[in-house]
């Protein structure tokens, strides 16, 4: 019966039907029959589509979030709002309906704004998590393809390799040294070695060695399994455990803000108590004294500070996403601004990740190859002569090319109007060069079908495949490809031009390797070994010695032009860029020199040298050198620790399963979104959706801009509150009339928070952001220079309010007019100060000068809104009655403008000592 016929008759209709089977107790044939799938070709595309429609996507149902009402009520859980609520209640009990109503209105407005901003921030971060998708290697209709894990259906054949996340519950059919980390599901910290043996019904979950469960991580080896459960029907779904890391809104900075808010709470309560005591001591009525204390409390509270911090971070995350950097853990936004060292891999990050073989040495002869990329167009030349593999004298070349073609798990195909590789770029280059010599992969694979494989593992530095060679001679052949060091130490003979065995001269080969590496070529070596036909499996012991060396192929991955510019920008910003690669030292140095990381005289340390160093020597080497070659993934961890011991803030890139410890140890772990393994992605703080170094530089730039915007918000908001508080406190101590009433303070704070401070979150980065040294991560929230700025502007704001009020009061005797002009003078000062610290005027001037600069419109919009609101506040009769204000003449309005203008000169002086841009 065909697979399709079985599918029509036996395939279960629901996931519940599938859950009734004990898959670990069933044989391979039983599982395939139940799931109506084929052990070699898998499902047809039509059958897979039908099952996908029938059973839905392979994703867990998200847990229900907090209800909107609960999230809204949580906004009241702010220490600073507790005081306002208490003040509002007491004011209400005193039957001061207008003041109480405005206090509660301000609280409601502030809570609503916080709710909207936090909702947008959480939505933005949640949307980013959808970008981080898991892919799986699936066989459908006999073709290997990469699909999003959400597209998997029961019956799909899935291939697993080291570094993969298991995309669904699988019944394993075949494997090679497969080990899976199931700690997230079972709590077992040690990776489990898998097998295909049938198990008893009572076997506990943690011991079901013939199963691989969704969400677990492949740490070693290879395997193939059939999907038996997806989505909520998986073991992970059954216990409702979402394994994807969530990105919360709490970061070290927001925690600092929370701590600062609590400290401010105690300070405000202390000042309010002092005000109340002084007022009573001066003989004032307790009601008037209480109102004065309320005015002080209201003036001192920066209601919008927590909200502005949250929304600024969220906007920064969204901007980074647009520049191909996905933030998985929000604290990375802050750490990026402090980064002092970026440790980057070479291939695909600093280079194009499109390998092309350019030189071959085999049979004591040198060949050159033309053509670029993965296109099979090009020729192999010896000198100026075109090479024909069928001609005499190129037997060794044929063997070398065949080894690269057969010892290979990738293929190239025509996609989106270009040739691209499905697999690794290195293997794609080997296929392309073989096709340039008119070797056809399908034909060769049919002549010498693969029997077994040893997959590439970084600790071994080679891959090996076993093939049928000659049934009559009863021979099979092993092909090996890997690093030159790994192959030469196992080989003792080589092929000459006629394909005959000859003694191997390792020194000559190493000289050729050095010559290729000096040209920036990455070198791979190839070998073979004939074994008896009865050998049907492959082990590491089979290739420990007696290999026949076939040759080397040198390929290049050209540097990314944008990476060169990004490295220059990082260096100007005081951020060191270090290359850590598994390539040959000379190859690494050649590429590093091309992209500007170092000079030709740079000392390159190899992994072998690093292994012989103690911790102190390693720290010295890590600090001094810019290039590290032949580095094993586990040595990256030592390098990160060594740099951190020197006080560096380290960003580390990685893509392999063995990179995970280094990514976790680094201050910012950066995983490759395209080439990275799922283990690396899970361990990282940030993903690059384009695997491009330029995106790291862009993220550092945005991280710095976010922190500068937060400093601007703090530098703008706190002087308003401190200036108002000073006004109230001094007025009480001097026993004078309050220059500003509680209701008017609430108006000022809300207008300032909403209209003038909110635009600071949208500030674009300045041109100087990458021309400054990295920020000290231990810097206090209110650094010395920032405190000086806050104090200076606070004193000016106090002088504006107190001075304007006293002057107008003494000249006119009109308290309402004096307060109205004092408030407008302060608002004008705020507007001028905002213009002094934002990018609006510089960007406008640059545009007028003809430069292609984006104008920062947000501050202008905020200023226009404030002008309209203040006109209503001063000139509208209803507002006059409500806030005890009075209309201003044009002359009085110009006086307000004049008294606020000097803040510009103060801001320019402060900018010299404490630049905010």
Name 695's bridge partners.
none
**Alpha carbon of 192 to those of 188, 197, 219, 453: distances in Å?**
8, 14, 9, 21
Over 50: is that where the pLDDT of 912 sits?
yes
Q: What is the mean pLDDT of residues 210-221?
A: 85
Structure tokens at 271: 């000042």
Sheet of 325-327, strand order: 325-327, 686-688, 668-672, 650-654, 341-344, 576-580, 627-629, 604-606
Structure tokens at 128: 């980013």
Q: What is the mean pLDDT of residues 869-875?
A: 92
User: How high does pLDDT run on average in the chain?
Assistant: 83
Q: Does residue 583 or residue 342 have the better pLDDT?
A: 342
Q: Percent of the chain at pLDDT above 70? A: 88
Q: What is the pLDDT at residue 376?
A: 86
Whether residue 166 contacts residue 215, with contact meaning beta carbons closer than 8 Å, is answered with: yes
Q: Does residue 183 or residue 875 have the better pLDDT?
A: 875
Query: 3-class secondary structure for 372-441?
Result: CCCCCCCCEEECCEECCCCCCCCHHHHHHHHHHHHCCCCEEEEECCEEEEECCHHHHHHHHHHHHCCCCH
Structure tokens at 701: 């730039």
Q: Provide the pLDDT confidence category of residue 72 given band limits of 50, 70 and 90.
A: confident
Per DSSP, 371 falls in state -
Q: What is the mean pLDDT of residues 369-380?
A: 87
Q: Quick: pLDDT tens for 276-333.
A: 888 788 777 777 777 777 777 777 777 667 667 777 777 888 888 888 888 877 677 8
Q: Provide the pLDDT confidence category of residue 601 given band limits of 50, 70 and 90.
A: confident
Instruction: Find the helix or strand (DSSP H, E) in which 343 lies.
Output: strand 341-344
Q: Quick: pLDDT tens for 786-828.
A: 888 999 999 999 999 999 999 999 999 999 999 999 999 999 9
Determine which of 233-242, 396-405, 853-862, 879-888 has the lowest per-residue pLDDT on average.
233-242
Q: What is the mean pLDDT of residues 618-641?
A: 89
Greatest alpha-carbon span in the chain: 118
Name 477's bridge partners.
467, 530
> In whole angstroms, what is the distance from residue 338 CA to residue 915 CA?
17
Q: Quick: pLDDT tens for 442-499.
A: 899 999 999 999 988 767 889 999 999 877 778 899 999 999 999 999 999 999 888 8
Would you name the residues annotated as active-site residues?
Answer: 345
φ and ψ at residue 494, rounded to 5 degrees: -145, 170
695-724 as b/e: b if 16+ CB within 10 A: bbbbbbbbbbbbbbbbbbbbbbbbbbbbbb
Q: Provide the pLDDT confidence category of residue 707 given band limits of 50, 70 and 90.
A: confident
Over 70: is that where the pLDDT of 187 sits?
no
Q: Provide the pLDDT confidence category of residue 671 given band limits of 50, 70 and 90.
A: confident
Over 50: is that where the pLDDT of 236 sits?
yes
Q: What is the mean pLDDT of residues 588-597?
A: 87
Over 60: is that where the pLDDT of 250 sits?
no
Among the listed residues 474, 355, 459, the one whose alpha carbon sits nearest the alpha carbon of residue 404 = 355
> In whole angstroms, what is the distance from residue 770 CA to residue 342 CA?
14
Q: Quick: pLDDT tens for 121-144.
A: 556 545 544 555 578 999 999 888
**Alpha carbon of 34 to those of 7, 8, 38, 145, 732: distances in Å?**
8, 11, 11, 24, 85
**Residue found under tokens 């590491």:** 540
358 CB-side CA count, 13 A: 17
Q: What is the pLDDT at residue 753?
A: 60
Please count the other Cβ atoms lying within 10 Å of the Cβ belonging to residue 54. Answer: 14
Burial class (CB in 10 A: 0-12, 13-18, 19+), 275: buried
φ and ψ at residue 368, rounded to 5 degrees: -120, 155
Structure tokens at 79: 């220490």
Over 70: is that where the pLDDT of 150 sits?
yes
Q: Quick: pLDDT tens for 288-299.
A: 777 777 777 777
Q: Provide the pLDDT confidence category of residue 26 given band limits of 50, 70 and 90.
A: very high
Q: Provide the pLDDT confidence category of residue 903 given band limits of 50, 70 and 90.
A: very high
φ and ψ at residue 419, rounded to 5 degrees: -80, 130
Q: Quick: pLDDT tens for 375-413.
A: 888 899 998 899 988 888 899 999 999 999 999 988 888
**Residue found under tokens 């000559």:** 508
> In whole angstroms, what is the distance from residue 92 CA to residue 104 CA?
10
Q: Provide the pLDDT confidence category of residue 263 given band limits of 50, 70 and 90.
A: confident
Determine which of 183-192, 194-203, 491-500, 575-584 has the lowest per-residue pLDDT on average.
183-192
Q: Provide the pLDDT confidence category of residue 759 given band limits of 50, 70 and 90.
A: confident
Q: Provide the pLDDT confidence category of residue 252 given band limits of 50, 70 and 90.
A: low
């Amino acid at each position: 019966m065909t697979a399709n016929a079985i599918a029509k008759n036996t395939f279960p209709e629901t996931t519940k039907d599938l859950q009734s089977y004990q898959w670990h107790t069933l044989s391979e044939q039983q599982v395939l029959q139940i799931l109506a799938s084929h052990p070699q070709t898998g499902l047809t595309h039509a059958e897979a589509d039908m099952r996908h429609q029938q059973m839905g996507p392979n994703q867990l149902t998200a847990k229900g979030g907090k209800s909107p009402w609960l999230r809204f009520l949580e906004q009241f859980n702010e220490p600073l709002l507790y005081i306002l609520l208490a003040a509002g209640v007491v004011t209400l009990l005193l039957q001061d309906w207008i003041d109480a109503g405005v206090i509660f209105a301000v609280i409601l407005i502030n809570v609503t704004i916080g709710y909207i901003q936090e909702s947008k921030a959480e939505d933005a971060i949640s949307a980013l998590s959808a970008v981080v998708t898991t892919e799986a290697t699936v066989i459908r209709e006999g073709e290997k393809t990469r699909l999003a894990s959400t597209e998997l259906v029961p019956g799909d054949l899935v291939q697993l390799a080291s570094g993969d996340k298991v995309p669904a519950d699988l019944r394993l059919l075949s494997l090679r040294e497969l080990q899976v980390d199931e700690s997230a599901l079972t709590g077992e910290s040690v990776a489990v070695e898998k097998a295909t043996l049938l198990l008893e019904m009572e076997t506990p979950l943690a011991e079901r060695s013939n199963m691989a469960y969704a969400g677990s991580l492949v740490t070693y080896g290879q395997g193939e399994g059939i999907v038996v459960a997806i989505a909520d029907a998986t073991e992970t779904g059954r216990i409702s455990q979402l394994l994807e890391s969530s990105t919360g809104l709490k970061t070290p900075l927001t925690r600092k803000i929370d701590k600062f808010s609590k400290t401010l709470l105690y300070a405000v309560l202390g000042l309010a108590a002092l005000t109340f005591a002084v007022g009573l001591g001066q003989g004032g009525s307790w009601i008037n004294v209480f109102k004065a204390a309320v005015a002080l409390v209201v003036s001192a509270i920066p209601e919008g500070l927590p909200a502005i911090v949250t929304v600024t971070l969220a906007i920064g995350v969204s901007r980074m996403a647009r520049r191909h950097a996905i933030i998985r853990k929000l604290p990375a936004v802050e750490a990026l601004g402090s980064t002092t060292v970026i440790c980057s891999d070479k291939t695909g990050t600093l280079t194009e990740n499109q390998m092309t073989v350019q030189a071959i040495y085999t049979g004591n002869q040198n060949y050159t190859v033309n053509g670029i990329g993965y296109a099979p167009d090009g020729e192999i030349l010896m000198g100026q002569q075109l090479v024909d593999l069928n001609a005499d004298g190129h037997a060794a070349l044929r063997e070398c090319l065949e080894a690269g073609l057969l010892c290979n798990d990738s293929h190239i195909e025509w996609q989106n109007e270009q040739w691209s590789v499905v697999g690794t770029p290195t293997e794609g280059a080997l296929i392309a060069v073989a096709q340039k010599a008119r070797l056809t992969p399908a034909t060769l694979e049919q002549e010498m079908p693969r029997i077994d494989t040893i997959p590439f593992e970084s600790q071994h530095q080679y891959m090996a495949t076993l093939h049928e060679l000659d049934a009559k001679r009863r021979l099979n052949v092993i092909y090996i490809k890997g690093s030159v060091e790994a192959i030469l130490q196992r080989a003792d003979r080589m092929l000459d031009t006629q394909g005959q065995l000859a003694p191997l001269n390792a020194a000559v080969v190493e000289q050729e390797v050095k010559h290729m590496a000096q040209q920036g070529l990455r070198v791979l070596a190839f070998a073979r070994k004939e074994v008896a036909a009865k050998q049907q499996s492959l082990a590491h012991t089979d290739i420990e010695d007696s290999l026949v060396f076939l040759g080397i192929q040198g390929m290049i991955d050209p540097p990314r032009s944008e990476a060169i510019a990004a490295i220059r920008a990082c260096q100007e910003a005081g951020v060191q860029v270090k290359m850590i690669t598994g390539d040959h030292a000379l190859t690494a140095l050649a590429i590093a020199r091309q992209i500007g990381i170092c000079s030709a005289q740079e000392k390159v340390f190899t992994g072998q040298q690093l292994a012989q160093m103690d911790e102190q020597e390693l720290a010295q080497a890590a600090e001094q050198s810019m290039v590290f070659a032949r580095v094993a993934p586990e040595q990256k961890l030592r390098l990160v620790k060594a740099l951190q011991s020197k006080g560096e803030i380290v960003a580390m890139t990685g893509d392999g399963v063995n990179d995970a410890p280094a990514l976790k140890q680094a201050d910012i772990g950066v995983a490759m979104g395209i080439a990275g393994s799922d283990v690396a992605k899970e361990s990282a703080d940030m993903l690059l959706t384009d695997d491009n170094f330029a995106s790291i530089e862009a993220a550092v730039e945005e991280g710095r801009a976010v922190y500068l915007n937060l400093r601007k918000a703090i530098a703008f908001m706190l002087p308003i509150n401190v200036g108002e508080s000073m006004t109230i406190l001094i007025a009480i101590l001097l026993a004078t009339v309050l220059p500003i009433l509680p209701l008017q303070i609430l108006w000022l704070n809300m207008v300032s928070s909403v209209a003038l401070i909110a635009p600071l979150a949208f500030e674009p980065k300045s041109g100087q952001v990458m021309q400054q040294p990295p920020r000290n991560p231990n810097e206090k929230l209110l650094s010395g220079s920032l405190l000086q700025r806050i104090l200076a502007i606070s004193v000016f704001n106090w002088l504006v309010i107190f001075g304007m009020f006293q002057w107008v009061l003494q000249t006119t005797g009109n308290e309402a007019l004096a307060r109205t002009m004092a408030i407008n003078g302060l608002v004008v000062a705020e507007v001028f100060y905002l213009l002094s610290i934002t990018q609006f005027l510089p960007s406008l001037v640059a545009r007028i000068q003809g430069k292609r600069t984006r104008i920062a419109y947000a501050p202008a919009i905020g200023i226009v809104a404030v002008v309209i609101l203040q006109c209503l506040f001063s000139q509208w009769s209803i507002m006059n009655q409500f806030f005890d204000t009075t209309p201003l003449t044009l002359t009085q309005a110009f006086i307000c403008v004049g008294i606020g203008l000097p803040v510009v000169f103060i801001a320019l002086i402060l900018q010299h000592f404490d630049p905010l841009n």
